[in-house]
Every structure is written in structure tokens, then in C-alpha cells.
Amino acid sequence: MKVFNAAQIKRWDAYTIEQDYIPSIDLMERAATACFNWIVNKFGPLLFHKADGPKKSFCIFCGKGNNGGDGLAIARLLLDHDYDTSIYIIAPDKKGSKDFEINLERLQGTTATIHFINEAASIPLIGKNQIVIDALFGTGLNKPVDAVAATLIQHINQSMATVISIDIPSGMFADKSSVGLPVVKANITLSFEGYKTCFLLPENEQQSGEVHILGIGLNKDFATNEPALFTFSDRSVIKEFFRPRKIFSHKGNLGHALLIAGSYGKTGAAQLAAKACLRSGVGLLSIHVPEKANDILQATVPEAMTLTGQIIPANIYACAGIGPGLGTTPEVVILVNNVINNIQQLTADKPVPANICKLVIDADALNILSANKSLLNNLPGQTILTPHPKEFERLFGKSANDFDRITLALQEAASLNCFIILKGHYSFIATPTGEGYFNSTGNAGMATGGSGDVLTGMLTGLASQGYSPLETCLLGVYLHGLAGDLAAETLSQEAMIAGDIIDYIGKAFKTLSET
């Protein structure tokens, strides 16, 4: 699913209007109807018609643009079905958009009582049993709101009401940071056709609430042909390149992976990465561990081979993963340096395409890179780096906000000719060619020690099987998140541990294989 910016969304509407011969007011009616149906389906048991004495009532705040027009159309539909609804419009002296004015005229034939807000004193009290529908400003907003709107937004945020924002929480920008600005804090956001970048970044979590994407019949040809900087990587994206195992597959053609992991007190990180690597479908796995950890790994991961010492056999491995639980001692710094500088000799000695990932770097190996930044220039092309936000900051510096952080990730990926997986909810994958991908799977239960080690093992195993670096990143984070989602369904998010993610990798593969 492509993630379009505000200008592209506007062009998508215009394209649909032109190509499908649908008046803009009718497209607005589609959006309003989709919202009305969702709201009534969600809150139906809490709603009573006016004749029965309302348990919940609606309070709709509208601007004078098309977002306000959506709000007026929703109000009319609610009133037509006899739901108790109050309407408030800001900027009474300002001319509304064409479709706003049409919907305002349509309300004249209903029981609507319309109030206008031209100063802070005109803002109504909001009861805790009300459902606020925020239709003040939509995706087209490109500057901070004025004083009256800011006061109204603050009033909405201080109420105890349930808040539903239409299209986007008012005051929020679709394509740039709105940190520190007045933004409606929605419990629910009802948006249309696809995710906006703002919904996929942590800084907007409290304002966006639960985001639900509603289809309104925008022309699919536009979405197919219009390029986008970002993609929301869902099942349809993954299915395009996922390769089920062939019936004559054998361990020799499913790759030999190398994991360099573990240290005193952190042998568990090596275990988790190794088990996840094996569950990802790799043919063979060797684990390089400290000598004291050898017996533990041999006993707990019998399917893998172990190595100890400074010398690692050459010309064997399809891909190496380094970092989980490794530590940062001087000896380990030398080891990481040697692996980075000699990865061509470690990996299989045969002609390979340029788009092959030979190295996955995580955890302590990233911390070593942060302390020895000259090593970044020695990374082989197509390397995959998997930092969480703090590791990313240590590697590349601080960012003022999440929008700046993903921009920096794209710049660094291009500069280093590598892939950067910025881990978190909707993990962001920055590619050397400038495209970015947000992952669609995963949940907060995965915020637990060892989860990143599991991902490193999976990525190393997938790359070893011949998936391209981009495919490895997309498939790895998708399966990792999906396994976490399946685990949470059974175990809850609160009780989940990293090993549970491994236990559900198989079910994740089966889910992906279903037609």
C-alpha cells in the first residue's frame, strides 16, 4: 500500500472526480457515509434516538474547508437517523469551500441547530457522555491554526468526551512534524483509502489514537501509477516475492548462515538469534560464541554448529549476522573490525550479484560502530543495520523529531549503500535508493528484551536463503511482527517474551502461505 503525501491525496481526489465522472460533492458524501456507518456500528449499543432519551450525543466541530464539509454531511446523516447532534462552525465570517456551502445548505431542511464560534467565549461545554466529531481541519492544513481554533482544540483535549477525528486530527500535519503545536487528541481517527505518514510515527501516537482506514472508492489507477516515497508493507506487498520452499530443496541450497553473538551473561541473546535463524528456514547455521558458552549452545540449540576462537573458517557462509549479546570489550572490537573488513573472504567464494546482503549488524556491534565511526565507511554494500532509536541516535546523531529521523535514515542509507531498519512500531526500512517502507505487523508486547535478537537471527537466515536485501528486510520485519501478533492473541501482549515470538514463526509462515 503506497503512502501518499497531502498533495498526492488531493490529486487522487481530483483524478477520481475527472475519470469516474463523479461530482466532488458526491465523493464527499461517500466519505461521510463511510464515517457514519463506522460510527454507528461502533457505538450503536450506546446510542439512543432522541425520542428515547439519548445516552450519548454528538457534538460536531467543523471548519469551513472540505474537512468541515465532511463534518456537516456526517451531521446530516446522524440527524436523518434521529441521533442527538449539535453542530458548531468556526470562522463564521470566512467563506467556506464550495462543497462545505452545499452541505451547509442541505442542513437547512433538517432539525439541525447550528452554532457559530467566533471567539473563545462562544466555545460550548463538552460533556463526558458526548461523542465529539472533529472536522475542523484536514490533510490540506499547512500552517499552525489561529488563536480561536487553538483554544477550541485545547478545550476538546481537556474534555472527558470520546473524540473522533475525520481524515486527520485537526492541527496535525500529514507530511511534517507538528510537535509543540495545538493538535486534537483523538481517541479514534477515521481516514480514507490509505495511511498518511503522520500516522506511522511515534510522535503522533497520542493525537492519532486508533487509526481506521475507510475505503471511499477512489480510482485505483491513480494508486497503481502514482509513485510514492513511502510504502506501507502489508501482506499484499510481501506475497509478491515470498517464495514457498520447493519440493526438491535440500540444506545445501538453503544457505549456510553465520551468527557471531553472545558473551558472559548474554548467552541467551545468541540462543534467541540462533533459534530464530533456524526457524526462518536456513539450511545450515554456525554460531561463533565465546568458549565458555559453547557447551550451553550445543545443548540448547543442537541443530546448529558452534565455533570459538578468533579464527572463523572462510568461503563458507552466505550471510553473517553479528551483534546480539556480543559485548564491547577490546577483543570484541577487534573481532567486529575483522568481520567487517574481511566479510568477502568469510562468505561463500562464488560469483554473486551486487544486490546480496552479506552482513547484518545489530546490538553491541552497532554500539561498536558508534564508538568507531570510521568503520561505517568500511561496511560492505547492501549491509543491513538494525538500530532501535537510541542506537540510531548514537550512530548518526540526534533528530529534532520523527520526520527528521526517517529523513536522516534515508540519507545515511544512501550514503553508506546500506539498508537501515529503524525498529519500533511500524518499523521503518530506509533503502539506498531513497524509498522507505513502514512495516504493518507487530504490537507493544514485543517491547521486551531479546526481541531484537530474534529479528537479527531471522534476517540472517532469510538473507542466507537468497532473498535480496530489500526482500530480507521486508519479509524479516513482517514475519517477526506477525509472529508477535499471533503470540499476543494467545498469550496477551503483557505476558509475551522474546522466545514466544520464535515459537510463532512457523504459524506466521503458514499464515503467509495461505491463499
Q: Is the pLDDT of residue 309 over 90?
A: no
Q: Is the pLDDT of residue 460 over 60?
A: yes
**What's the chain's average pLDDT?**
94
Cα–Cα nearest to 464, from 342, 357, 363:
357
pLDDT interval class at 111 (50, 70, 90): confident
In this model, does residue 350 exceed pLDDT 60? Answer: no
Residue range 451-479: mean pLDDT, rounded = 98
**Mean pLDDT, rounded, for 206-218:** 97
Tell me: pLDDT of 462 over 80.
yes
- β-bridge partners, 256: 284
Q: Does residue 506 register a pLDDT over 80?
A: yes
**What's the pLDDT score for residue 311?**
80
pLDDT at 355: 80
367-407 pLDDT, tens digit per residue, is 999 999 999 999 999 999 999 999 999 999 999 999 999 99
Amino acid at 350: K
pLDDT at position 110: 82
Q: What is the pLDDT of residues 322-342, one digit of tens each?
A: 999 999 999 999 999 999 999
> Percent of the chain scored above 70 by pLDDT?
97
Cell numbers describing residue 62: 467543523
Q: Which of 16-30, 333-347, 449-463 has the lowest mean pLDDT?
A: 333-347
Per the structure block, which three cell numbers stand in for 443?
504490537
Question: What's the mean pLDDT in 132-159?
Answer: 96
Alpha-helix runs per DSSP H in 117-266: 147-158, 205-208, 220-225, 235-239
286, 243, 158: which is closest to 465 by C-alpha?
243
Report whether pLDDT(348) > 80.
Answer: no
Return the pLDDT at 486.
Answer: 98
CB contact at 8 A, 130 and 100: no
Amino acid 310: pLDDT: 78
pLDDT band, residue 315 (cuts 50/70/90): confident
pLDDT in tens, 41-71: 998 766 655 555 556 789 999 999 999 999 9
What's the rounded mean pLDDT across residues 14-21?
97
Q: Classify 32 as helix, strand or coil.
A: helix
Q: What is the pLDDT of residue 53?
A: 54
Scanning the structure block, which residue is given the C-alpha cell 537510541? 390
Q: Name which of 119-128, 159-168, 196-205, 440-449 the model is least confident about.
A: 119-128
Q: Over 90: is that where the pLDDT of 514 sits?
A: no
- Integer CA distances (angstroms), 207 to 61, 192, 211, 379, 407, in order: 17, 17, 10, 39, 22
Partners of residue 259 on adjacent β-strands: 287, 321
Tell me the C-alpha distance between 145 and 213, whole Å. 25
Predicted confidence (pLDDT) at residue 515 exceeds the cutoff of 80? no
What average pLDDT score do residues 152-177 get?
A: 97
Q: How far apart are CA 361 and CA 366, in angstroms?
A: 6
pLDDT of residue 441 exceeding 90, the answer is yes
Q: Which three cell numbers stand for residue 134?
A: 472533529
pLDDT at 352 over 60: no
What is the C-alpha to C-alpha distance for residues 85 and 89, in angstroms, rounded to an integer? 13
Strongest mean pLDDT among 14-18, 41-45, 108-112: 14-18
Quick check: 318 pLDDT over 80?
yes
* 193-200 mean pLDDT: 98
Nearest CA-CA partner of 83 in 91, 92, 96, 74: 74
Structural domains for the chain: 2-228 (3.40.50.10260), 250-513 (3.40.1190.20)
The pLDDT assigned to 48 comes to 58
Return the pLDDT at 312.
85
pLDDT digits (tens, 9 = 90+) for 175-186: 999 999 999 999
Which DSSP category does 440 fall into?
-
Which range (91-95, 296-300, 387-391) has the least confidence?
Answer: 91-95
pLDDT at 313 over 90: no
Q: For the chain, how are helix, strand and coil distributed in percent, rounded to 5?
A: 45, 15, 40
Question: How do residues 265-297 score in pLDDT, each as one tens digit?
Answer: 999 999 999 999 999 999 999 999 999 999 999
Taking residues 217-244, report their average pLDDT. 96
More confident residue, 211 or 93: 211
Q: How many residues does the chain have?
A: 515
